[in-house]
Amino acid sequence: MSEIRIRRIGATRDRLGESPVWDERRQRLVWIDALAGTIHRLDPLTGVIEQFSVPAPVGSLALRSDGGAILALRNGFAHYDFDRRFLTEGPSIGLDHPNVRLNDGKADPHGRFLAGTMHGDRAPDETPLGGLYRLGASGAPELLETDLAVSNGPCFSPDGRTFYLADSARRIIWAYDYSADGPLANKRVFVDTEAMGSGSDGATIDSDGHLWSVLVRIGKIARFAPDGTMVRTIDMPIRHPTSVSFGGPDLDVLYVTSISRSHALGDDHPDAGSLFAVEGLGVRGLPALRFAPD
C-alpha cells in the first residue's frame, strides 16, 4: 500500500465545509460553506479559488448537465448559474419548520437530485420531520424516505442499483435497492458505526465499488467494501472532517472538507474548516453524476 500524503489546499476557513464535487469538464473542484452561504470553486493548477454567494444555509449541491448547479437550500431547491452569478428559485419541499432544513444531496444516475433533511433540537420522543426527497426536471419533489434525523452521505454503487444513505444521529449507513422511477426498496443496514464512536457524514464511491465515509466526530475517513467490511481508515489532521469527493485529472485525489465552527461541533486547530487533498491512495473515483434539467 502506497504512503499517503495529506495537504491543505488554499486559505479558506469554512464554518461548515460540505458537498465537494469534481467538475471533470472544467477540471475544477466545487464545494460549499453551508452556514456562510458560499460556493467555492478551485482551479488546482493555479490555486485560484472563486467564491459565489447564495442564501444560507445551503445543504448541498450537484452539477447540472448544462452547466451551473442544483442547490438544496433551507426548505427548497434552486438553480445557480456560475457565469451570470444568478440564482433561480425552484420548488419547495412543502415543509417550513425552524429546526428542519435540507442537508446532504447527490445527483442520481438518471439525472435527478436527491437531498435529505436534518431535524435539530428534537425531543427524545419526537419523530423526525422531513425525509429524503427526489427532484426531477419538472414537478414537485418526491418524498422517498421518512424518519431521518440527520441525513448524510447519499451515493450510488457504480452500477446505480444500490443507494447508500446515512442517518448520522442514529450512526447507521443504510443500503437500498434503487431503480429509475420506483420507490426505495429492500432497506438494510450497510454499516453500524456506533462502535466507531461517530456517525457517518459525507460519502463517495470509488471505481471498485467501495464506499468512503467521513467519521465526523473522530477525525477519520473509513473505506468500506461492498459487503460493509471496513478495510481502511485515514486519520485527518483536524478534528471534524465532513465530506469527500474524488477529483483531479485521474480522479485519484480525495478532496476533504471540514468544520471550524458549526452549530454542534467546533475545532480551534488553525487548519480547521480547510479543504484538504489526500493523495497516494492507490484508488480512483468515478465521474460525478449530474442533474439533467430537461
Instruction: List own/partner pairs for 247-252 with CB under 8 A and 24 or more apart.
Output: 247/20, 247/22, 247/29, 247/44, 247/285, 248/22, 248/44, 249/27, 250/284, 251/22, 251/24, 251/207, 251/284, 251/285, 251/286, 251/287, 252/279, 252/281, 252/283, 252/284, 252/285
Measuring CA to CA, which residue among 160, 183, 182, 185 is closest to residue 174? Answer: 185
Give yes or no for residue 219 having a pLDDT over 80. yes
**What is the pLDDT of the chain when averaged over all its residues?**
96
- Mean pLDDT over 143-157 rounds to 97
pLDDT reported for residue 195:
94
- Structural domain spans, the chain: 5-279
d(CA 292, CA 56): 24
Per-residue pLDDT reduced to its tens digit, 4-25: 999 999 999 999 999 999 999 9
At 2, the pLDDT band (50, 70, 90 cuts) reads low
At 138, the pLDDT band (50, 70, 90 cuts) reads confident
83 is catalytic: no
Q: Measured at the alpha carbon of residue 260, what is the angle toward residues 44 and 190, in degrees to the nearest 5?
A: 80
Give yes or no for residue 228 having a pLDDT over 90. yes
Strand, coil or helix: 253: strand
Q: Which residue has the cell 461541533?
A: 265
Measuring CA to CA, which residue among 28, 27, 24, 50 is closest to residue 39? Answer: 50
- Catalytically annotated residue among 104, 201, 252, 267: 201
Per-residue pLDDT reduced to its tens digit, 158-196: 999 999 999 999 999 999 999 998 899 999 999 999 999
Per-residue pLDDT reduced to its tens digit, 53-76: 999 999 999 999 999 999 999 999
Whether residue 102 contacts residue 44, with contact meaning beta carbons closer than 8 Å, is answered with no
Best CATH choice for the domain 5-279 from the list 3.20.20.70, 2.120.10.30, 3.30.460.10, 3.40.50.1170: 2.120.10.30
> Any alpha helices (H) in the chain, and if so which ranges?
none
